Amino acid sequence: MNPSPRVVKQAIHWMLRVRENGASPQLQAQCEQWRSASHEHELAWQRVHSLQQEMNLRAVPGAGVVALQTLENSQQRLHRRQALKLLGGVVMLGSAAWVSKDIGLLDPWTSDFATATGERRSVRLPDGSLLNLNTHTAADLAFDSRQRLVRLKHGELMLTCAEHPLGPAGRPLLVQSRDALLEGFDGRFVVRQERDCTRVTVSQGKVAIHHPGPAGLQWVAAGEAFLVNAQGATPVAQQNMDPGAWADGLIVTRNMRLGDFIDEVARYRHGYLSCSDDIANLRLSGVFRLEDTDKLLHLLPQTLPVHVSYRTRWWVRLERQA
């Protein structure tokens, strides 16, 4: 037998009063009295109380602001979509157009060169050098009489220096990232803007890292990699991944941690991709094509004890195979 609407509303009233006024003993006693007056009261109270518990966002650490923002923003958009598609039914956009983890949505319009998530591009520069942009990357070009400068705003680029730069005393070929100013001389190198540093990997030729600190200049030779931040440039072991393979549309791994691999693949996808902790340390070697990352993920269960679980097309999680 369900409690009557009147009793449910009273229960809500009591619960809110207790919540608002803290543990006033007098109020607690009155509330107890109301609850024990009838079975119906007590049932309504229990239900309201457990509903309150079920919806208690403060029980999840760090939920507060994020939860509010998420619920409010998603609700607004949901209304818009409903109005557009269910009521009007006129506007038809591929759903891939809107799901985006990119906050810098304006970059494609304000940068000289930009790629969207999952997109790659190559550009022949005026001096003959080849610029490759990886997924979700934006760069500006500043070529003038003194220098040939590529500004990496975010993302990752590969620069293949022109065979014959304009004379030895010609204009330097520079790449500027948030953390570093790099000078390329010949050959090919990859610059990747990470969250708190810049990764430089040289595959042919050599690169100079110009640093304002006391260290001054740091040379990077073919086969070496450096991380650069405000403190300076630190050599790092090569990753378990071919740093420039993306320019050919591939991820090439040697004994790479699955967790790192998944983070890498996530860069090429919209939405959310993760793997559970108990499989993150599995190792993976192979050559994977980037053009269809869904297909790529479906290959993994063939070699590893994992299972790909789709909650929606934009929320994918790898778990240990049951």
Residues that bind another protein (CB under 8 A): 2, 8-9, 12-13, 15-16, 20, 47-48, 51-52, 54-58, 60-75, 77-78, 81-82, 85-86, 89, 92-95, 98-101, 103, 195-196, 271-272, 274, 276-277, 311-315, 317
> What is the per-residue DSSP string for 169-183?
TS--EEEE-SS-EEE
Nearer residue to another protein within complex by CB, 96 or 166: 96
Q: How far is CA 160 from CA 122, 147, 186, in A?
A: 11, 16, 8
* Nearest CA among 178, 175, 177, 133 for reference residue 157: 133
* Smallest distance, another protein to C-beta of residue 229, A: 14
* Smallest distance, another protein to C-beta of residue 263, A: 11
Nearer residue to another protein within complex by CB, 30 or 204: 30
Nearer residue to another protein within complex by CB, 67 or 221: 67
Nearer residue to another protein within complex by CB, 238 or 321: 321
Measured over the CA atoms of residue 212, residue 138, residue 220 and residue 257, the dihedral's sign is positive
* Nearest CA among 263, 261, 307, 251 for reference residue 282: 261
Nearer residue to another protein within complex by CB, 238 or 312: 312
- Strands (E) in 172-249, as ranges, are 173-176, 181-193, 198-210, 217-221, 225-229, 232-236
* Smallest distance, another protein to C-beta of residue 64, A: 5
Nearer residue to another protein within complex by CB, 14 or 113: 14
d(CA 192, CA 153): 10
Nearer residue to another protein within complex by CB, 66 or 142: 66
* Smallest distance, another protein to C-beta of residue 243, A: 23
Interstrand relation of 148-154 and 138-143 (parallel, antiparallel or unpaired): antiparallel
* Smallest distance, another protein to C-beta of residue 320, A: 14
* Smallest distance, another protein to C-beta of residue 23, A: 15
46: how many CB neighbours lie within 10 A of its CB? 13
Half-sphere exposure at residue 19, Cβ-oriented, CA atoms within 13 angstroms: 11
166: how many CB neighbours lie within 10 A of its CB? 12
d(CA 95, CA 193): 29
* Smallest distance, another protein to C-beta of residue 218, A: 26
Question: Are 261 and 279 within 8 A, CB to CB?
Answer: no
* Smallest distance, another protein to C-beta of residue 86, A: 6
Nearer residue to another protein within complex by CB, 95 or 122: 95
